[in-house]
Structure 1
Amino acid sequence: MTAVSRLVRRAFPGHNPLATFGDRIEGGVLALGVVVALLAVPVAGAVGSEIYATHVSRVGAEQKSRIQVDAVLAEAAPSMDGAVGSEALIETTEAVATWHLPGGLARKGVVRAPYGAEAGTTLRIWVDLSGEPTEPPMTNQGAAFNAIFSALLLWGLIAGAMALLYGLVRFACMRIRLRWWQLEWELTAPDWTGR
């Protein structure tokens, strides 16, 4: 018997004379969970598509509003020895640097630099139109990754919720079953054991 046929038998106990009311409830919840998980696929796809469309317009805006420039460290970056706790997990630290905008205007500010970088080290940084350091612009690949990740996460949450619901119903039905069996045994045991 394959896993699929076992799943179908569990979801649809049919006219099995040994199937209880609890088995039918479990089967109904299992069938509902599978249907909801399957219906969530196109919903997650639509959400992912919408996120991609939103991010693509952001990609265009960020690509136009951010440029890369060379920044020269005005002072040495702190060494790794000064890093504590979670700071040591990050490969860069803050350091003061100077850079020139395309129009020739000089700017000075705090940038991310490798630990221990010496004064005079040249780094490539991203700046916005006002010349302030900023994050790199989003790319089309980044937009696609975010959309796919969001769609898979949404589907996983829905499928996980259905699996949790089925698990809770199955647990509750099993507890009820065990209680009924215990009560039936308490009624039957004296006839069998003579006590």
Structure 2
Amino acid sequence: MTTDTLSRLVRRAFPGRNPLATVGDRIEGAVLALGVVVAVLAVPVAAAIGSEIYATHESRVEAEQKSRTQVSAVLAEDAPSMDGAAGSEALVETTDAIATWRTPDGLERKGLVRAPYGAEAGTALRIWVDLSGEPTEPPMTNQGAASNAILGALLLWGLIAGAMALLYGLVRFACMRVRLRWWQLEWELTAPDWTGR
């Protein structure tokens, strides 16, 4: 941001004793200043919310890391080929297929797992299972928890800053409409003197 741009922004927010500044200009300036202050104050609030999200996810990471295990599964049948996939299914690289695996306590299980399209029977896959031996999603990692926290904080700050920008835009639009209406009324009063009509 250049010095001129910053100077213009400050003059817009604080018209001061400028005799040409209207009530609308002062309202716009007040809303602009309010929006900037709220957006700046929202930074620590968003950071605190992000920290809280991370703390919540941290306990989830610990629980999932303890309760999920990666095991080897062997396909009991060929996985469907990509040719038979519908348009929306073809966007996903895996499909359901029957496989067998051993649970962490040594019992053999059989069921549906996610496998690449066209994988042949006998192909070994790494899958995640829960304490009961059922297939599940991989556990959340500390990096995943941090990413969720950062994303949540940025999203919250973006919503607050966006709401302030929208408020300023609406106030500016309303003030401009009022200005234009006053100018039109003044011209209607002045026009006959200038145009002779």
Gaps of 5+ in 2: none
1:55 to 42, 54, 57: 57
Query: Hey, what's the Cα distance between the residues in 2 that align with 1:96 and 1:2?
Result: 67
Deviations 1:98-119 (A, max 9, x none): 1012322000111111111111
The residue number in structure 2 matching 1:75 is 77
Pair 1:155-2:121 in alignment: no
Paired residues in the alignment total: 195
Query: Hey, what's the Cα distance between the residues in 2 that align with 1:110 and 1:36?
Result: 51
2:46 to 2, 25, 44: 44
Seq. identity, %: 85
Gaps of 5+ in 1: none
Query: Hey, what's the Cα distance between the residues in 2 that align with 1:179 and 1:78?
Result: 68
Query: Hey, what's the Cα distance between the residues in 2 that align with 1:3 and 1:108?
Result: 67
Query: Hey, what's the Cα distance between the residues in 2 that align with 1:102 and 1:36?
Result: 53
Deviation, 1:146, is 0.5
Query: Hey, what's the Cα distance between the residues in 2 that align with 1:140 and 1:104?
Result: 29
Deviation, 1:186, is 0.9
The residue number in structure 2 matching 1:90 is 92
Amino acid at match of 1:143: A
Query: Hey, what's the Cα distance between the residues in 1 that align with 2:130 and 2:44?
Result: 38
Q: Which stretch shows the higher mean deviation, 74-83 or 23-32?
A: 74-83
Q: Secondary structure at the match of 1:50?
A: helix
Q: Is the 8 A contact 2:103 2:132 kept in 1?
A: no
Pair 1:30-2:36 in alignment: no
Deviation, 1:85, is 2.6
Deviation, 1:89, is 1.2
Query: Hey, what's the Cα distance between the residues in 1 that align with 2:20 and 2:84?
Result: 70
Deviation, 1:96, is 1.1
Deviation, 1:25, is 0.6
Query: Hey, what's the Cα distance between the residues in 2 that align with 1:88 and 1:165?
Result: 44
Q: Is the 8 A contact 2:69 2:104 kept in 1?
A: no
**Normalising by structure 2, what TM-score?**
0.96
Q: Which runs of 4+ in 1 moved over 3 A?
A: none
Q: Secondary structure at the match of 1:32?
A: helix
Query: Hey, what's the Cα distance between the residues in 2 that align with 1:97 and 1:50?
Result: 40
Equivalent residues in 2 for 1:79-118, closer than 5 Å: 79-118=81-120
Q: Secondary structure at the match of 2:88?
A: helix
